[in-house]
Structure 1
Amino acid sequence: MDLGTDDQLVEQIFQVNQSERAFILRELKEFDLNLVQARALIYIGNHPGLIQKKLAAHIGKQGATTTNILKVLESRAFIIRQVQASNERQKQLYLSPSGQETAARVKQIFIALEQQANSGLSAADQATLLALLQRVQANVEAAE
């Protein structure tokens, strides 16, 4: 898409997103995970005991889709779902030992991407860019 200068910012953000996705997907092939599964794995590792509803909100997926993601992760022995004593309908999510190891390795992919994206930018440039992108995000969300 090329609309000239009317979409310059949006087009650049799109191109950055495409480059990031390509980098991550290339690196995730080793683990046979897609981007959403990888993000779910890392989030569960950072929030042990969380419930599916909170994971769904974080990854931006509907409950049924999140259930399918969790089924795949559970079938591959990356996660463990435990029934809460106080609520038998809710299950808490934890990483298995294999899931912890995989999540740590997957997290390194995201760290490598962060380092690559920030290379050549000063700390001040990084802070400015982050603040500007947060404002852009808020502007887009205000239009929803």
Structure 2
Amino acid sequence: MTGPIGLRLTNTARVLSRAFDDALAEAGGSLPIWQVLLTVKSRTQGNQRQIAASIGIQGATLTHHLNAMERSGLVVRRRDPENRRVHVVELTEEGERLFHRLREVVVDWDRRLRTGLEEEDVAAFERVLARLEQNIQLNRSDHGA
């Protein structure tokens, strides 16, 4: 037996996360910036509520990130003409440039992670991850969480 799978997974995730953050930072980004750029880019435009839901963060956290990204010239926010209470987020030219730089980092990162793995290894890994998520969801619903 190799020990608790949760501990191994948590430690591995921490190492990978730090290395990924470092790779994004070298290109002038961060994980939150990448997530926002990717979400806005994939939807052409999106309102703040949709972006927060897509990324899985609270609206206030997204607002904090968008404020910094707007100050850096990466995004602009404007009111939706059909619903003035909604802010639509769009990438600026600088946001587009950063998106493309970070996309190269992400593609390279994925390539590095897949080194030495066959497609069936990756497929099996994805099934295991999905099962782990299901187990957690089932456990939460069994315990009323």
TM normalised by structure 1 equals: 0.86
Q: Name the residue aligned to 1:76.
A: 72
Show CA shifts across 1:51-84 (max 9, x none). 1112112222211111111111111111121221
After superposition, where does 1:96-107 map in structure 2 within 5 Å?
96-107=92-103
Q: Name the residue aligned to 2:143.
A: none
Show CA shifts across 1:71-100 (max 9, x none). 111111111212211100101111111101
Can you give the 5+ residue segments of structure 2 that lack an aligned partner in the other structure?
Answer: 141-145
Q: Name the residue aligned to 1:59.
A: 55
2:40 to 21, 39, 44: 44
Aligned residues: CA RMSD: 1.7
Q: Which runs of 4+ in 1 moved over 6 A?
A: none
Shift of 1:121: 0.8
* Distance (Å, rounded) in 1 between the aligned partners of 2:53 and 2:61: 11
After superposition, where does 1:1-144 map in structure 2 within 5 Å?
5=3, 7=4, 9-144=5-140
* Distance (Å, rounded) in 2 between the aligned partners of 1:10 and 1:80: 40
* Distance (Å, rounded) in 2 between the aligned partners of 1:82 and 1:111: 31
**2:29 counterpart SS class:** coil
- State the AA in 2 paired with 1:78: L
* Distance (Å, rounded) in 1 between the aligned partners of 2:74 and 2:107: 21
* Distance (Å, rounded) in 2 between the aligned partners of 1:12 and 1:113: 21
* Distance (Å, rounded) in 2 between the aligned partners of 1:86 and 1:61: 25
Can you give the 5+ residue segments of structure 1 that lack an aligned partner in the other structure?
Answer: none
Aligned 8 A contact 1:20 1:113 in 2: no
TM normalised by structure 2 equals: 0.86
Moved more, 15-24 or 72-81: 15-24
Query: What number of residue pairs does the alignment pair up?
Result: 139
